[in-house]
Amino acid sequence: MVKVEVFDPAMCCSTGVCGPSVDPALSRFAADLEWLAANGVAVERATLAQEPAKFVANPLVSGALAENGDGALPAIIVDGALVSSGEYPERNTLAQWAGVAVTADNAKDAKADNGCCGSTGCC
């Protein structure tokens, strides 16, 4: 099983899609991670404010932070390799990294899933 680890900057909750003004990119990304999980990908997510030890313990993330500071976040690791740093990738990119096919049907599901937190329950 493919494993995707997301190391987010400091946010109010584990997904950042809470509060009065939700960033649409974070809402989309949270939905995309749920979509990956629904398609058999193991997804783990940590925020700097809530789980700083995870950032220090991961040499790829701690190295990216040492080199680029907070600009290194979010850091995305797929199966132990740092694949992205400093931006939230689109669903198609996540799917490619995870080896999940994007079809017309499940791509349409992403556009329909624009709720605050979906199943994350942070709101």
What is the 3-state secondary structure of 8-67? ECCCCCCCCCCCCCCCHHHHHHHHHHHHHHHCCCEEEEEECCCCHHHHHHCHHHHHHHHH
pLDDT at 14: 56
115 falls within a domain: no
More confident residue, 21 or 110: 21
Question: What is the total count of domains within the chain?
Answer: 1
Least confident of 37-51, 88-102, 105-119: 105-119
Across 96-110, average pLDDT? 77
67 falls within a domain: yes
- Coil, strand or helix at 82: strand
Q: What residue numbers bound the domain in which 97 lies?
A: 3-103
- Its pTM stands at 0.80
State the CATH number of the domain containing residue 22.
3.40.30.10
Digit-coded pLDDT (tens) for 50-95:
999 999 999 999 999 999 999 999 999 999 999 999 999 999 999 9
